[in-house]
Structure 1
């Protein structure tokens, strides 16, 4: 399927009454599609998807369109949202340790590349914190600096291990056995339907 058809198909999945904080609607998307402004239409659809939960097929269509337009970050974001549509959303306020007190000395990319371990509460049989892997997407920033603070989205490697995580809970990030950062869970949204195997 070509880019315009993918974007048209995705826009049909957006309820007409949905609007973003900037009062953008699906009608604005159609306006850009009629002028072959595909990248703008893609960006507006991503924004509409951020303002209201939309189905997996919406994000799949956007991911394919972004790949065809060679928009790597948009494609990565849409694939990330596909994961969230299947498994749910966990957002947290993360503060990294400063470079002079932590293992990490350099910034890391914010687009879901880093997959650190997290202490989310459970303990091993020996009483040590049990650590669980989750990918990390930094909202509104291309990188996260040592000592920085940002809202992040987490994609657990095994979502069932994270079922007990709740808003307000403090969790810690680890790139080795030491604490690399501390996060307070802001939001947990479970998927509306069970994830397909």
Structure 2
């Protein structure tokens, strides 16, 4: 499928009464599609998807359209949202340790890092066991050492994270030392793939 067909197909997965914070609806997006304003339509569809729970097929179609339009950041975000639907997502407030107190001296970027997290599991010998989750920083491109941001975590093994609850504190590790501390804000379990309409 080409970009117009992908965006049209994705827009059909959005309920008609769904609107962005600026009251943009699917009908408004169709106006952009009719006038071949594909980048604008893609951006608005992303906004609709970020504000409402939409099926995996929606994000897959947006990811493919963004790739065809060579919009790398949009494609990365849409693929990220696909992984959230498949694996679940945990939103948390993360504070990185300052560079003077931790191994990390450079900022971290969204979607690149797969740190280990101490979420309360123990190994068979009684030691600490860690679980891996990819990290996306909300509303920022980079998070500096010592900085604080709301992050989205996508577990590598979702079954390890079933006990995690809002308000719980977890620690981030890139080696044996603590790289940061996070407080869980929201937990969204993996969704079953919804069939496309």
Task: Give the TM-score, by structure 1 length.
Answer: 0.94
Comparing 83-92 and 42-51, the one that deviates more:
83-92
The structural deviation recorded for 1:109 is 1.4
The structural deviation recorded for 1:15 is 0.3
1:78-93 pair list within 5 angstroms:
78-93=78-93
Distance 2:4 2:81 in 1: 20
Is the 2:33–2:41 Cα contact (8 Å) retained in structure 1?
A: yes
Question: SS of 1:127's equivalent?
Answer: coil
Is the 2:55–2:193 Cα contact (8 Å) retained in structure 1?
A: no
Question: SS of 2:176's equivalent?
Answer: coil
**Larger relative contact order (Cα-Cα within 8 Å, sequence gap ≥ 6):** 2
Comparing 45-54 and 28-37, the one that deviates more:
28-37
Aligned to 1:102: 102
1:43-54 pair list within 5 angstroms:
43-54=43-54
1:42-191 pair list within 5 angstroms:
42-110=42-110, 112-191=111-190
The structural deviation recorded for 1:194 is 7.1
Ranges of 4+ aligned residues in structure 1 off by more than 4 Å: none
The structural deviation recorded for 1:163 is 0.8
Q: Which runs of 5+ in 1 are unaligned?
A: none
Instruction: Please give the per-residue CA displacement for 1:1-31, whole angstroms capped at 9, x wherever unaligned.
Output: 0001100000000001111222121122112
Is the 2:87–2:157 Cα contact (8 Å) retained in structure 1?
A: no
Aligned to 1:31: 31
Distance 2:39 2:102 in 1: 40
Distance 1:175 1:29 in 2: 42
Question: SS of 1:120's equivalent?
Answer: strand
Question: SS of 2:95's equivalent?
Answer: strand
Is the 2:94–2:180 Cα contact (8 Å) retained in structure 1?
A: yes
Task: Give the TM-score, by structure 2 length.
Answer: 0.94
Q: 1:194 to 1:69 in 2, by over 3 A?
A: closer
Q: 1:194 to 1:16 in 2, by over 3 A?
A: closer
